[in-house]
Amino acid sequence: MTYLRTKLVRVLTAYFGADDRRIEHALRVLHHADRIVGDHPGCDPDVVIAAALLHDVGIKVSEDKHGHNTGSTQEQYGPPVAAELLGAISFPPQKIKVVTDIIGNHHSPSRFDYPELVVLKKADLIVNRDEKV
Ligand SMILES: [Fe+2]
């Protein structure tokens, strides 16, 4: 999609509002996903971008509902939010399915063999490791 990064950055910042930490995290994950995607043949670049930027949208719902989030609540609440956000920018439905599968599986053993899921998990791991330092 044309200017997909820009469209999704707008969506992401509108969604997370003043939560700069989440926005920064998503941008860092996108940076690493872009860097390593060439090592993973078969990736759809649009899916990689969307998954990187939106993978943690479930955190906000989880924190609003429960006051905390875990890997499993992120997997539970993220996909419907991502589907809505992607639908609003006319992201193709078959790609929304892949992105939401990825978001719903990014903190547990992989149930899908999408190369984009591998890329997201690696990129998120790199950023989470950096952020702990
Ligand atoms: Fe993350």
Q: What's the 3-state SS for the chain? A: CCCHHHHHHHHHHHHHCCCHHHHHHHHHHHHHHHHHHHHCCCCCHHHHHHHHHHCCCHHHHHHHHHCCCCHHHHHHHHHHHHHHHHHHCCCCHHHHHHHHHHHCCCCCCCCCCCHHHHHHHHHHHHHHHHHHC
Centre of ligand 1 to C-alpha 98, Å, is: 17
CATH number, domain 4-132: 1.10.3210.10
- The pTM (predicted TM-score) of the whole model is 0.95
pLDDT at 133: 61
Centre of ligand 1 to C-alpha 132, Å, is: 12
Q: Where are the domains of the chain?
A: 4-132
Q: What is the pLDDT of residues 28-85, one digit of tens each?
A: 999 999 999 999 999 999 999 999 999 999 999 999 999 999 999 999 999 999 999 9
